[in-house]
Amino acid sequence: MFPKPKPALAANTYAYESEPLVKATGFREYDVRWLLEKEINLMGVQALGLGLGTLIHELGVAPRVVTGHDFRAYSASVKTALTTGLMAAGCSVTDIGLALTPMAYFAQFALDVPCVAMVTASHNDNGWTGVKMGANRPLTFGPDEINRLKAIVLEGRYNLRGGGAYAFIDNFPDRYVADLTDRPRLKRRLKVVCACGNGTAGAFAPRVLSAIGCEVVPLDCELDHTFPKYNPNTEDLKMLHAMRDEVLRVKADVALGFDGDGDRCGVVDNEGEEIFADKVGVMLARDISAQRKGAVFVADVKSTGLFMTDPVLRENGAKTDYWKTGHSYIKRRVNELGAVAGFEKSGHFFFNKPLGRGYDDGLVFALAVCDMLDRNPGKSMADLKHALPKTWSSPTMSPHCPDEVKYRVVDEVVQHFQEAKTRGEKVAGQDIRDLVTVNGVRVTVADGTWGLVRASSNKPELVVVVESPVSEARMRDMFKAVDGVLRTHREVGAYNQTI
């Protein structure tokens, strides 16, 4: 019998090497993430594999699982531990090796394997590890599956049925690259800065962009798991500033930046200006809905209000459904509605046929941006951006808040604004027009200025976003109002960035 996990173990002890360590807070809303050695050890990862294999059997899905790992010093070891647990629980594991997360999703289709367990900490700092999982392609786990997995693992309710198997697929990345590039080349010769932050995407993104006809300028594409310059995170200002500087230096048409596991992409235009992912989503929605009238899109609650108010989208008959933030939530909603595409402000983009298979892939998004520019030969990326109605938007700001209390803090913030609306109190100097509480709270005042507070699904942080269709000053007014409420909670710490 495999031991039941412990919530804490001292490193460099007999117990640490003899028992599984699994901290409960690593089970997030739709994936799992821990600080390796501090919150989970390799025996704990084995326990996770045992639990996942047990859950797969419980779900009645064929126990066949694709696995891969991102480029970190320890990810291959984590994957090996996970694989031994899956095999002991009776699963047949198909290993595609070093991979992007969307490459693992693609493998589910290309290899006809129903389940996936991709070892990645995505854009988290070094020291973090995690797994993105699914058992119903192209979907990944949501809270129901994660909570069931948590119960199985923490309570030690594994079924060690044995009978597992292992196979390694040699050169699988070539199949993924070939699938992406089996398409017409661009008519327009685009100069593209390809930024990868020394993460996994550096092995693949330049090849794909070059194959469709781009002149590629690589930026930090050499794999280096120490991430010597900045974290491969498309919302990190250091990465965005590096992209800006390179675009201006080489006079590129656009910079496309990829996060650590390649399921997100960020954009800097030819003038060196970052375009937030939700605004790029509006640009793509314009482009797509011009070809497919009445197209349906999904956007997360952090996204700009332009999806509802943009006159071009209205003229094209496009409809947008705002939904919960999180790649699993948006993926499921896109699938449920049969939407053409889904957009998340964090840079996750989801395309259904004919553009994609319903899962988030930073490279599929990058190709969609290139195709949009190709269909507008007389216009630059900045031209397309300037054609949108003007709004003033903040970056996604993330004040620290411990995992153990962040949901309680958000509940109290929601209650604060609900009570303020009931009492007729003003926020940022105006009456509250609307509250959306599907995912934290999005408070909109009379002039359309809005602010969002929600709990991060994968880090010990809150998420804060503000936007105004009126002015930068009104955006800052909303930030002050929201931050003033957060400052009443001593558990809320410093921001990763601010405005």
CATH class of 394-486: alpha beta
Q: What is the pLDDT of residues 339-388, one digit of tens each?
A: 999 999 889 999 998 899 999 999 999 999 999 999 999 999 999 999 99
Crossing angle of helices 362-374 and 277-291, in 10° steps, is 60
- Which of 282, 277, 195, 279 lies closest to 235 in space, CA to CA? 277
Position 432 scores a pLDDT of 97
- pLDDT tens sequence across 234-260: 988 899 999 999 999 999 999 999 999
Per-residue pLDDT, 305: 84
Q: 281: which 2 tokens?
A: 């989503």
The CATH H-level (homologous superfamily) assignment of domain 14-171 is Alpha-D-Glucose-1,6-Bisphosphate, subunit A, domain 3 (3.40.120.10)
Residues 218, 191: Cα–Cα separation, whole Å: 11
pLDDT at 124: 85
| 309-319 per-position pLDDT tens digit | 899 999 999 99
Decide if 14-171 and 394-486 have a common fold.
Answer: no
> Partners of 192 in the beta sheet?
216, 254
Domain ranges of the chain: 14-171, 183-389, 394-486
Cβ atoms of 417 and 443 closer than 8 Å: yes
Residue 458 has pLDDT above 80, yes or no: no
Tracing tokens 């979907």 back to the chain, one arrives at: 139
Q: What count of other Cβ atoms lies within 10 Å of the Cβ of residue 177?
A: 18
Could you report the per-residue pLDDT of 107-130, keeping only the tens digit for each?
999 999 999 999 999 888 899 999
3-state secondary structure 113-125: CCEEEEECCCCCC
Rounded CA separation 179/364 (Å): 11
The whole-angstrom separation of Cα 45 and Cα 80 is 9
Token pair in block for residue 157: 């309710």
Residue 224 pLDDT class (50, 70, 90 cuts):
very high
Q: What is the pLDDT of residues 463-473, one digit of tens each?
A: 999 999 999 99
Q: What percent of the chain has pLDDT above 70?
A: 100
- pLDDT tens digits, one per residue of 129-159: 999 999 999 999 999 999 999 999 999 999 9
* pLDDT of amino acid 51: 98
- Name 135's bridge partners: none
Band (pLDDT 50/70/90 cuts) for residue 395 is confident
394/493 Cα distance (integer angstroms): 19
Average pLDDT, the chain: 95
Q: Please report the pLDDT score of residue 308 as a whole number.
A: 82
Instruction: Classify domain 183-389 by CATH architecture.
Output: 3-Layer(aba) Sandwich (3.40)
What pLDDT, on the 0 to 100 scale, is given for residue 235?
Answer: 84
Label residue 461 by pLDDT band (50, 70, 90). very high
Element (H, E) at 246: helix 237-250
What does the pLDDT read at residue 176? 98
Q: pLDDT tens across 49-104, in order?
A: 999 999 999 999 999 999 999 999 999 999 999 999 999 999 999 999 999 999 99
pTM of the model: 0.89
